[in-house]
Amino acid sequence: MRSLTHLIMLSRAEDFTQANAEALIKEQVDEMVSVLHYEPSEARRIMLDNIGYYAAYYPDAIRDKVYQMFDTQHPKWGKTAPPPTDIDIHWIQARLYKERNK
């Protein structure tokens, strides 16, 4: 299964289209159905929610392109950027996790 970082990086290419995004989603959904035994609609919802969540923490241009190409958004903030206080909290939590799990 591709990482969310890999999906975001692929979507940054100038020639990346919604057809490319749909093919990636289909690939991911098919794998979730076969390996994790999710229903296709549930796998698709989870995948798009995860992409929407993850993309919110990228710069505006990348976030906007990902939201457009994958036809998704952040599950809490929609198509807007998360407030800076939320980004700070996530950054601190990630840093603490990394320090504890060296």
Residue 44, Cβ neighbours under 10 Å: how many? 17
How many helices (H) and strands (E) the chain has is answered by 5, 0
Degrees to nearest 5, angle at CA 30 with 42 and 7 = 90
* pLDDT value of residue 91: 64
Low-confidence residues of the chain: pLDDT under 70? 86-91
Residue 20 is which amino acid? N
- C-beta separation of 55 from 62 below 8 A: yes
| pLDDT at 96 (0 to 100) | 76
3-state helix, strand, coil in the chain (%, to 5): 70, 0, 30
Is the pTM here over 0.75, yes or no? yes
